[in-house]
Structure 1
Amino acid sequence: MALFDCTIEATCGHARALSYETAHGTFHTPMFMPVGTSATVKGITVDQLHQLNSQVVLANTYHLSMRPGADLVEEAGGVHKFMNYDGPMLTDSGGFQVFSLADTLKLDADGLTFRSIYDGSYVRWTPESNMRIQEQIGADIAMQLDQCTPYPAERSFVANAVDLSANWARRCLAAHKRPDQTLFGIVQGGMELDLRLESIRRLREIEDESLAAGGRRFGGFGIGGYSVGEDHETMFETLGQVARACPEDRPRYLMGVGNPTTLVRAVREGVDMFDCVLPTRTARMGTAFSSTGRMNMRNAKFTRDFTPLDHSCTCPTCQNYTRAYLRHLVKQNEMLGAILLSVHNLHFLLDLMRRAREAVLAGEYEQFYEEWMNSPAAKDY
C-alpha cells in the first residue's frame, strides 16, 4: 500500500471496515483514538498503550504549541520521538480549544488572535501558521483550522462559520506540504443538514481545484461541531446523512465523541474514527465503564466486593485487581486508582470497536448493534 491509501475491506449496511496506511503503520477501523493532549495519555505509558492495542493517539496543537512549543518538539525529532510512541498519531488543529476561549478571542477572515491560558500572552494564528505548527509537531494526520460553533447557535452564525471554515480549508490545503503527513478537512454546519451538506460540497470543490492545479487532496474528513451541547438524539437526526455524504474512499472521523452507545450507533451510520477524553477523565473521577453500565467506585457496595471490576473484561485491571481494592484506591485519592481505571476504560472502548470491526467483517454488524442496544450497558450511556 502507498502512503495514505485507504482500503475498504468490508461493509455491512452503512458500517465499514477500513485499513489506512501511514508512515508509522497501518490502522484499522472502526476504531477509537485515546487522547494524548500534551503528548501523553494521562496516566498511561506507551507500553500500556501497545498492550491495550491502541492504534492511533491524538495530540493537541494548541497545548503543544504553547508548552513545550512546536520548535522544541521539532528539535526532539517530532512528536513520535518526543514521547517515544512509534504508532500513527493525529493532531487536532487546536481550533476547538481556541473557540472555547470566546472571551479572549478576536476572529477575522485572515485568522484569529487569542490569549494563552498558560502565560496570558496574545497569540496569532492563520491557517498557514497553523499548518506550519502541525508540520513541526509531525503527526501522521493533521486537521485543518476551522471554526467550531456551539449549540445552540443562530443559523446565520453557523452559516458564516461554514463559509469561514471552507475558506480556511482552502488555505490549509495550499499551505500543507509535508509529504509524510496528510491533512483532513473538517465538516461544520451545526445541526443544520443543508449547511452540513454545503460544507462537504465546498470541501470537495476545494480538493478538486487543488488536484487540478497539481496539488493534494484531503486524506480524510473530520465531522466537527457535534457533541457540543446538543443531546444525542439531536445529533443523530443528521449525523448519518452527513457521514454518508463524505467521500466513500477515505476515513470519516467524528470528533470528540467517546460515549460507548454513541460509538456503536455512529458506526452503523457510516463513521469510522472517534476520539474523546471521556475514558480517562471519568477514570480520574472514580467511574468505570462496564458491560452492565457505569460503575461509581466510591459506592459503599464495593467495600467488600472481591470480584473483578467487570467479569467479562480481559484488561490488566480486571485480571489482577478487585472492586474492593479499586474502591479503596479511589477513596484514598491514590493515583494508582485513576491509572487502573484509565487502563480499563480505554480497553473497554478499544475492545468495543475491535468487536464492531469483527462484526462488519463477518457481515453481522446489525446483530452486533441489536445486542448492544438491548444490553444493560446501552441504557446507561
Structure 2
Amino acid sequence: MLFEVRYSDLAGRIGKIKTPSGTFETPAFIPVIHPVSQSVEIDFLKKLGFEAVITNAYITLKKYGDLAREKGIHKIINFDGPIMTDSGGYQVLEYGSIEPEPSYIAQFENDIKSDICVPLDKPTGYGLRYDVAERYVNETLKNSQETFNLIKSNNNRNAVWVGPVQGAEHLDLVKRSAGQLDEMGYEMMALGSPVQLLEAYEFAILADMIAALKSEVISKPVHLFGAGHPLTIPLAVALGCDTFDSASYMLYARDNRYMHANGTSRLDKLSYLSCQCPICINMTIREFIDLEYKERTDKLAKHNLYILRGEVLSVKQAIMEGRLWEYVGQKARAHPKLMEAYKLFLNYKYLEDGTPIFKKKAIFFMETSDQYRPEASRIRRIFDLFSTNKKKIVLYPDTQVSPFYTSHEYHKLYKKFSDYQICAYNPFIGIIPAEISDIYPAAHNLISKKKFNLHDAKDYPTFVSSFEKILSHDYFDDIIIIADEFMQGIIHETNIEHKNLKIIEYTDDVVEQI
C-alpha cells in the first residue's frame, strides 16, 4: 500500500491511499453499502464524489457464497472503485458470534477481490469489565496473527489489510492492541467499537482512544469504524483518523433524523430547511414531512450524504488553510460533550508533529484554550531557549504592529532603554524577546481584545510559567514591567518578589512619562 501525505494540520492529513482498484483521497467518509439491498443507488454515491465504499464480507458470504468468489465484490455491488470489506465484527458485537473461522473469512475477502480487508475481530464494545475486554483483545490479536500468516503468502493483488484495534475505554488495551498489530505488519489500523460511545456522545472517551492508538502508530493511516456524525468527523480527523465509515445516513433517515452542520434534528421538529442541497432546495419542510415513508427515507438519506460529504470537504479546506484548530473549536460549541473532547487537546502532544512550522495565514487567539494550540507551545519553547547578555529587562504589552521590533513603541523603548533586554508579552505565547519577535506566530497572530480582571491570571498557566521563569533567578539586576490589565492580574496572582522590580501602569503615552 502507498499512503502519500500531501498536507497536514494538527494530526489531520490530506493524502492518498493506493489500492488495487484505484487511489482515493483522504480524509474520506466511506459509506456503508449493503451487499444485497442498496437503498441509495451506487451511481448517486459516485456522482456525489464518494471514491470508496465499504460492505460486509460476512453477509456477502451468507447470501452469495461461490457466486461472489466467481464475480468478485465489485460486480456484486456494481462499484468499480476501492471497496473495503468488514469481516463481520459488527455482527459479533450485535449477535455474539458468527459461524466462519477467521482464516475462512480472510480467504473469502481475498477471493472476492476486496481492496481493503479487515480480519475477523472481537469488538470490545463500551462498558465491558476490564478482564472481559482484555480477553476480547487477546482473541482479536490471535485472529489477526492467524489472518496475517495466511495472507502474507497469498496477497497477489496487494490488497490493503487493516489491523483491528480493540480495547474501547481501556486505553492500555488500545495501546497494546495497536502496538502488536503494527509489529505484525498491518499497513493500516482501524479503531473499533466506537458506535456505542458515539451514540452516547462520549466524544472525550473517543478522543482518548484515538490518541492512545496514535501514541503507538504514528505514520500509518487510521480508519475509525462507525463514525458518521457531522460532529465526529472534524474531531476524528484532527486527532489523526484518515477514513471513517457508517450507515448513519440511512439509519438516521429511517428514524426521521435530519443531519445538519451541527448535528441532527428530528425532521418533524424543524420549521425550515436551511440546507441548499438538491433535495432540500426543491421542497418545503411541510412537503418533506408529507412524503410517503419510503420516498421520504430515500430523500432524507441522500440529504444526509450531502451533509457528510460537505463536512469532509470543509475539514479538508480547514487543513489547507491551516485552520483546523479553529474549525474544531467552532464545532465544539455545538455540543457540551464535544467541548469536553476539544479541551483534551492540550494533552495530545503529537498534534504538534503534523502542524506546519509556518503557515500562510495568521493564527487566531480568541479564548484561553488557544494558549495550548501547537504553534503557541512550540514558540514558547523557542523563547525559553533565548539568552541575552544584558542584565536589565523591560516588559511591554504586545502591539498591533508586527514584528514587535518594527513598532513605534519598540523604537521609543529602545531610545530610553538601550541597555535593557526589551520584550513584549502576549497572554497566549508568553514573553517575546524583541530580537526574535518575527518568528511565526509571534508576528502572525490576531488576538481578541478584551478587558481583563485581576482573576484572569489563573486561566493562563502557560503565561504564568513563562513569566515566572524570567523572575525565578537573579540574572536580571533591574526589571521594569509596563503592566496592562492582564499583566496586573498576573502580578497580583503570582506575588512576585525582586529587589529591583519596578511596575508601571500602562497608558498610551507611558514611555514618554517614564
Which whole-Å deviations, capped at 9, do the CAs of 1:312-368 have from their partners, x for residues lacking one?
Answer: x3x321243332221111xx32x2211111111011112101211121122221122
**Of 67, 70, 75, the match for 1:72:** 67
Equivalent in the alignment of 1:60: 56
Q: Offset of 1:46 from its aligned partner?
A: 1.5
**Of 283, 306, 329, the match for 1:347:** 306
Q: What amino acid maps onto 2:45 in structure 1?
A: L
**Of 82, 91, 95, the match for 1:97:** 91
CA distance in 1, matches of 2:216, 2:80: 30
Q: What amino acid maps onto 2:69 in structure 1?
A: E
SS at match of 1:346: helix
**Of 116, 129, 140, the match for 2:104:** 129
Over 3 Å counting, the alpha-carbon distance change for 1:375 and 1:137 in structure 2 is same
Equivalent in the alignment of 2:167: 189
Contact 1:191/1:234 (8 A) holds in 2: no
SS at match of 2:136: helix
Contact 1:184/1:222 (8 A) holds in 2: yes
CA distance in 1, matches of 2:136, 2:306: 36
Q: What amino acid maps onto 2:221 in structure 1?
A: P
CA distance in 2, matches of 1:237, 1:6: 23
Structure 2, unmatched stretches of 5+, are 340-514
Over 3 Å counting, the alpha-carbon distance change for 1:24 and 1:46 in structure 2 is same
Equivalent in the alignment of 2:357: none
- Name the Cα RMSD after superposition: 2.3
Q: Offset of 1:164 from its aligned partner?
A: 1.6
Q: Offset of 1:178 from its aligned partner?
A: 3.0
CA distance in 2, matches of 1:366, 1:248: 20
* Count of residue correspondences: 334
Q: How does 1:157-306 map to 2 (within 5 A)?
A: 157-176=132-151, 177-180=154-157, 181-207=159-185, 218-229=186-197, 231-236=201-206, 238-291=208-261, 293-299=263-269, 302=271
Contact 1:293/1:378 (8 A) holds in 2: no
Contact 2:162/2:189 (8 A) holds in 1: yes
Give the share of equivalent positions with the same residue, in percent: 25
Q: Give the alignment's TM-score, normalised by structure 2.
A: 0.61
CA distance in 2, matches of 1:294, 1:233: 16
1:48 aligns with 2:44: yes
1:317 aligns with 2:279: yes
Q: Offset of 1:126 from its aligned partner?
A: 1.9
**Of 19, 33, 36, the match for 2:33:** 36
Q: Offset of 1:131 from its aligned partner?
A: 0.7
Over 3 Å counting, the alpha-carbon distance change for 1:264 and 1:178 in structure 2 is same
Q: What amino acid maps onto 2:10 in structure 1?
A: G
Contact 2:280/2:303 (8 A) holds in 1: yes
**Of 119, 122, 125, the match for 1:144:** 119
CA distance in 2, matches of 1:324, 1:99: 39
Equivalent in the alignment of 1:85: 79
CA distance in 1, matches of 2:338, 2:6: 31
Q: What amino acid maps onto 1:126 in structure 2?
A: E
Instruction: Specify the structure having the higher radius of gyration (Cα).
Output: 2
Over 3 Å counting, the alpha-carbon distance change for 1:21 and 1:292 in structure 2 is closer
Q: Offset of 1:294 from its aligned partner?
A: 2.5
CA distance in 1, matches of 2:337, 2:169: 24
CA distance in 2, matches of 1:138, 1:149: 28
CA distance in 2, matches of 1:152, 1:292: 27
Q: Kindly indicate whether structure 1 or structure 2 has the higher relative contact order, using CA contacts under 8 Å at least 6 residues apart.
A: 1
CA distance in 2, matches of 1:150, 1:185: 17
Which whole-Å deviations, capped at 9, do the CAs of 1:282-338 have from their partners, x for residues lacking one?
Answer: 112222112364332234x65xx6xxx334x3x321243332221111xx32x2211
Structure 1, unmatched stretches of 5+, are 106-113, 115-122, 208-217
Over 3 Å counting, the alpha-carbon distance change for 1:243 and 1:11 in structure 2 is farther
Which whole-Å deviations, capped at 9, do the CAs of 1:189-222 have from their partners, x for residues lacking one?
Answer: 1211111111112112222xxxxxxxxxx23101
SS at match of 1:32: strand
Q: Give the alignment's TM-score, normalised by structure 1.
A: 0.81
